[in-house]
C-alpha cells in the first residue's frame, strides 16, 4: 500500500480503494495465502462493488467464482505437507474429504464460510478506517495530535511496527471515537430468542428478529457530552470502562455477550497499524481545499456516500521507508 501510494505522490488518489485493497489482501492472505497486486487488484475492487449485492450473490450459482483459488488448491492435491503449515483453506478442504456426516463440509458450505469471513473481516474494518481518515481530515487539530504522537513514539525515519501500537493512546482514542460516531454495523447483527421472554416489562416473542440501534445509543446525549462532535479526547480517561468487550452499554460497536464479534483483536490491530502507517508516511491534502463529505448510506454497513479523494505528500526523505 505504501509503495503504491508513494508512486502517486502529488496526484489525487482514491484512498478508500487503497484502504479496502489493503484490508482485503490481509484477509485473503490470512485465509489461503497470496494477495492481489497490480492488475489483480481489480478483482479486489470488483469484490468491493459486488459486496453491496451480497444478499443477491448468496443465491447465485457463481458465488464460487469469487474464490477461484479453491479449485486451484484442489488440483494441487494434498497441499502443504506439514500439519502446522496448513492454512485455513486447506483445513476446510480436508473437512470436505473426511466423509464423516457430522464433521464433513460440502463445497457450498466452504464457499459460505469463506465468503462470510472475507465480508466480515474486510468491509467493516475498511469502512471504519475510511471514516477515521475522513474525520481527521475534517479536524486538523486532531490530525496534528496523532502525527505528533507518531513522531514521538515511532520516530521520523522508522516504519510502524506492531509493538508500537499499545503506546499510541491518542490514535486508539481516534479509532474508538470513530467507532462511536460511525459504527460500521449500526444495528449490529440481529438476535433471535429461542423462547418467548420478558425483558424490562416487554414481551419478546419466540423467534423474533431483535436489532440493537447502537448508532443511536452511542449518540445519546444522556451518556455522551456533545455526542455529535468528533472528540477522541473523551476516551483518554476512561480506557478501562469503554473498551471493546461489550460490558458498557453506551459503547459496544462490536456487540456484546456470547454473540460479540469474534474478530475484535484482529480488527483493532489492522485499523491501528494501517492508520498509523498512512499518517506516519504521508501528509494528506484535499483537492480544492474542500473538507471531505460525511454523508452516510446504510447498506449492510454504514459507509460513506462519496469515496475519500486525497493527495498524498511524502513526509520522509528516506526512500527505504516507502519500499
Q: How far apart are CA 169 and CA 106, in angstroms?
A: 45
Q: How far apart are CA 56 and CA 122, in angstroms?
A: 19
pLDDT digit string, tens, across residues 213-267: 999 999 999 999 999 999 999 999 876 668 898 888 999 999 998 889 989 999 9
The pLDDT score that the predictor gives to residue 63 is 44
The pLDDT score that the predictor gives to residue 36 is 66
pLDDT digit string, tens, across residues 276-305: 999 999 999 998 878 888 999 887 788 899
CA atoms within 13 A on the CB side of 226: 7
Lowest mean per-residue pLDDT among 48-62, 162-176, 269-283: 48-62
Q: What does DSSP say about strands 296-298 and 282-285: parallel, antiparallel, or unpaired?
A: unpaired
Task: Please state the domain count of the chain.
Answer: 1
Single pTM value for the model: 0.85
Q: Are 272 and 175 in contact (CB under 8 A)?
A: yes
Q: What does DSSP say about strands 282-285 and 309-314: parallel, antiparallel, or unpaired?
A: antiparallel
Q: Are 165 and 273 in contact (CB under 8 A)?
A: yes
**The domain containing residue 299 runs over which residues?**
2-322
Which amino acids are annotated as binding site, given as ranges? 261
**CATH number of the domain that residue 311 is part of:** 1.10.630.10
Which amino acids are annotated as binding site for heme, given as ranges? 261
For every residue of the chain, which 3-state class applies, written as one string? CHHHHHCCCCCCEEHHHHHHHHHHHHHHHHHHCCCCCHHHHHHHHHHHHHHCCHHHHCCCCCHHHHCCHHHHHHHCCCCCCCHHHCCHHHHHHHHHCCCCCCCCCCHHHHHHHHHHHHHHHHHHHHHHHHHHHHHHHHCHHHHHHHHHHHHHHCCCCCCCCHHHHHHCHHHHHHHHHHHHHCCCCCCCCCECCCCCEEECCEEECCCCCECCCHHHHCCCCCCCCCCCCCCHHHHCCCCCCCCCCCCCCCCCCCCCHHHCCCCHHHHHHHHHHHHHHHHHHEEEECHHHCCCCCCEEECCCEEECCCCEEEEEECCCCHHHHC
The pLDDT score that the predictor gives to residue 43 is 67
pLDDT digit string, tens, across residues 306-318: 999 999 999 987 7
What is the CB neighbour count within 10 angstroms for residue 139? 17
Amino acid at each position: 500500500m505504501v509503495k503504491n501510494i508513494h508512486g502517486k505522490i502529488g496526484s489525487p488518489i482514491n484512498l478508500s480503494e487503497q484502504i479496502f485493497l489493503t484490508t482485503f489482501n490481509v484477509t485473503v492472505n490470512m485465509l489461503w495465502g497470496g494477495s492481489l497486486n497490480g492488475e489483480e487488484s481489480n478483482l479486489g475492487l470488483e469484490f468491493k462493488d459486488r459486496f453491496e449485492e451480497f444478499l443477491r450473490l448468496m443465491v447465485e450459482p457463481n458465488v464460487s467464482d469469487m474464490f477461484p483459488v479453491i479449485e486451484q488448491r484442489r488440483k494441487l492435491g494434498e497441499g502443504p505437507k506439514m500439519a502446522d503449515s496448513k492454512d485455513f483453506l486447506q483445513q476446510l478442504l480436508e473437512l470436505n474429504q473426511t466423509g464423516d456426516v457430522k464433521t464433513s463440509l460440502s463445497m457450498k458450505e466452504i464457499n459460505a464460510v469463506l465468503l462470510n469471513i472475507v465480508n466480515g473481516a474486510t468491509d467493516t474494518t475498511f469502512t471504519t478506517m475510511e471514516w477515521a481518515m475522513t474525520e481527521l481530515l475534517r479536524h486538523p487539530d486532531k490530525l496534528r495530535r496523532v502525527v505528533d504522537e507518531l513522531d514521538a513514539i515511532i520516530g521520523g525515519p522508522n516504519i510502524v511496527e506492531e509493538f508500537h501500537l499499545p503506546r499510541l493512546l491518542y490514535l486508539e482514542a481516534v479509532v474508538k471515537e470513530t467507532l462511536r460516531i460511525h459504527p460500521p454495523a449500526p444495528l449490529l447483527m440481529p438476535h433471535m430468542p429461542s423462547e418467548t421472554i420478558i425483558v424490562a416489562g416487554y414481551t419478546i416473542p419466540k423467534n423474533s428478529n431483535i436489532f440493537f440501534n447502537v448508532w443511536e445509543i452511542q449518540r445519546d446525549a444522556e451518556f455522551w457530552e456533545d455526542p455529535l462532535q468528533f472528540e477522541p479526547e473523551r476516551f483518554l480517561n476512561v480506557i478501562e470502562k469503554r473498551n471493546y468487550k461489550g460490558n458498557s452499554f453506551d459503547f459496544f460497536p462490536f456487540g456484546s455477550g456470547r454473540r460479540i464479534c469474534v474478530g475484535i483483536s484482529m480488527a483493532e490491530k489492522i485499523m491501528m497499524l494501517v492508520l498509523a502507517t498512512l499518517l506516519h508516511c504521508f501528509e494528506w491534502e484535499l483537492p480544492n481545499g474542500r473538507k471531505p463529505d460525511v454523508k452516510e448510506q446504510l447498506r449492510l454497513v454504514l459507509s460513506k456516500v462519496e469515496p475519500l479523494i486525497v493527495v498524498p505528500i511524502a513526509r520522509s526523505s528516506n526512500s527505504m521507508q516507502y519500499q
